[in-house]
């Protein structure tokens, strides 16, 4: 769903917008969610809508939480991040790093040293994700556990962690308000969007960008990235905040760590995830429900249509848009892949060519 009411801004101090259009808007896949040993292993499905022990979540998340400080001359800002692995990689938003392009980056650990120098490993403005790295010997590293963002349900409790307004080690709690949001966060002539975002009423303010959104077991299910404001721009969280799904972020991070950049192969569809709740209410299978097929791309050439539900790509099962993105990325530009889908309840298959936009 397109969120356009009021004003949506990236939640980083020193920057007012995400300077990128997420490649997922054209069915892009930006990284592999494969067996990359540097990436945290996905955990079991996220906790259900039961009571949430926020104090226990904080205790588990704080050792993995950092504040990211950027500076270049008089320009600078700060955001948040999560320790990704024991090699010193840290996941954050690309827009957190933008003010320091060519400048310096340091990290303050919520439960450790401050001012630790960091280097930029890879940035992907198209998805607003980035990886930085610290010397593994500079601090005791506790990688965050990654949960299953595809298993999120509306109403499920979640917790946001970060450094709003520079106040490190801050925890706020709320619920998943909605899923599959398309959020326009552009300002002026610069287009920017979050695709397939998790909406939450957990308070997110400037400085929270790049920090983890977690389930009640302390597993990261999203990357806090933007918050809505009133049309008057009075500032502060109004309970409309958005996070990049962790499954998608995990895939991007793997490629940034491996290659320093992310590729964007596509099949050319706009889709939303068929969640377990949606499947139960509609009878649709779990998968990626096509909202639009873009002309000139592989999906159109393979005969896919709006309202088809993609359930597999190249033999890899797909039960969400995030998994669709990851599955497509496993193939090279020019490859023809077998796509399984359902149309009006009937299972079908199509040969689809993978391209790059």
- Token pair belonging to 300: 């159109």
**What whole-number distance in Å separates Cα of residue 314 and Cα of residue 34?**
14
**Burial level of 161, CB count in 10 A (0-12/13-18/19+)?**
buried
CA angle 354, 263, 287 (to 5 degrees): 55
Which residue in the list 64, 209, 237, 271 is annotated as catalytic? 209
**What whole-number distance in Å separates Cα of residue 177 and Cα of residue 111?**
30
**Burial level of 114, CB count in 10 A (0-12/13-18/19+)?**
middle
H or E element in which residue 97 lies: helix 94-97
Are the C-beta atoms of residues 194 and 18 closer than 8 Å to each other? yes
Q: Among this protein's residues, is 89 annotated catalytic? A: no
Q: Among this protein's residues, is 320 annotated catalytic? A: no
Are the C-beta atoms of residues 77 and 101 closer than 8 Å to each other? no
Which residue in the list 128, 148, 215, 322 is annotated as catalytic? 128
Strand partners, 273: 288
Q: What single-letter DSSP state applies at residue 28?
A: B
**How many Cβ atoms are within 10 Å of 353's Cβ, its own excluded?**
18
Gyration radius of the chain over CA positions:
19
* DSSP state string for 304-353: --TT-EEEEETTEE--SHHHHHHHHHTS-TT-EEEEEEEETTEEEEEEEE
* DSSP state string for 52-79: --HHHHHHHHGGGEEEEEEEETTEEEEE
Q: Among this protein's residues, is 128 annotated catalytic? A: yes
Q: What single-letter DSSP state applies at residue 165?
A: G
Which residue in the list 95, 177, 225, 312 is annotated as catalytic? 95
Strands 65-72 and 269-274: unpaired
Question: Nearest to residue 225, comparing CAs of 210, 237, 246, 236?
Answer: 210
Annotated catalytic sites, by residue? Answer: 95, 128, 209
């Amino acid at each position: 769903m397109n969120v356009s009411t009021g004003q949506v801004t990236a939640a980083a101090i020193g920057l007012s917008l995400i300077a990128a259009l997420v490649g997922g808007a054209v069915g892009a896949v930006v990284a592999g969610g494969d067996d990359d040993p540097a990436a945290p292993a996905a955990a079991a499905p996220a906790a259900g809508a039961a009571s949430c022990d926020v104090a226990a979540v904080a205790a588990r998340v704080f050792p993995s939480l950092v504040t990211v400080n950027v500076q270049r001359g008089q320009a600078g800002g700060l955001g948040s991040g999560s320790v990704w692995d024991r090699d010193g990689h840290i996941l954050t938003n690309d827009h957190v790093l933008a003010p320091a392009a060519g400048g310096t980056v340091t990290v303050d650990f919520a439960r450790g040293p401050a001012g630790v120098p960091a280097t930029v490993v890879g940035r992907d403005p198209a998805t607003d994700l980035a990886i930085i790295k610290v010397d593994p010997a500079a601090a005791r590293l506790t990688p965050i556990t990654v949960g299953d963002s595809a298993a999120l349900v509306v109403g499920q409790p979640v917790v946001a962690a970060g450094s709003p307004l520079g106040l490190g080690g801050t925890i706020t709690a709320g619920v998943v308000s909605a899923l599959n949001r398309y959020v326009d966060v552009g300002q002026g002539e610069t287009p920017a969007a979050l695709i397939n975002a998790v909406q939450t009423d957990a308070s997110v303010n400037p400085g929270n960008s790049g920090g983890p959104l977690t389930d009640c077991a302390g597993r990261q299910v999203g990357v806090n990235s933007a918050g809505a404001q009133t049309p008057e721009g009075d500032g502060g969280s109004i309970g409309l905040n958005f996070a990049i799904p962790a499954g998608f972020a995990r895939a991007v991070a793997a490629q940034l760590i491996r290659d320093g950049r992310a590729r964007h192969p596509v099949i050319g569809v706009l889709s939303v995830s068929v969640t377990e709740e949606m499947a139960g209410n509609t009878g649709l299978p779990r998968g990626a429900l096509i909202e639009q097929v873009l002309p000139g791309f592989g999906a159109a050439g393979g005969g896919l249509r709006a309202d088809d539900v993609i359930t597999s790509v190249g033999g890899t099962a797909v039960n969400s848009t995030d998994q669709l993105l990851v599955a497509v990325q496993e193939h090279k530009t020019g490859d023809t892949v077998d796509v399984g889908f359902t149309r009006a309840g009937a299972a079908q298959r199509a040969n689809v060519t993978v391209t790059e936009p």
